[in-house]
Copies of this chain bind each other. A is one copy, B any other.
Amino acid sequence: MNIENTKAQLRKGALELVVLSIIRQEEEAYPTDIINRLKESELIVVEGTLYPLLSRLKVGGLLDYVWRESTSGPPRKYYRLTPSGDTFLNELHSSWRSLVDAVDNTTKTLSYHE
Contact = CB atoms under 8 A, between A and B. Distances in A.
A90 interface: yes
Q: How many copies does the complex hold?
A: 2
B106 A10 contact: no
Interface residues of A, number: 50
B6 A92 contact: yes
Interface in A39-91: 41-43, 56-57, 59-62, 86, 88-91
B43 A106 contact: yes
A111 B41 CA distance: 19
Given A3-B88, A25-B109, 11 more contacts: A1-B56, A10-B17, A10-B92, A10-B96, A11-B99, A13-B13, A18-B103, A18-B106, A21-B106, A21-B109, A41-B102
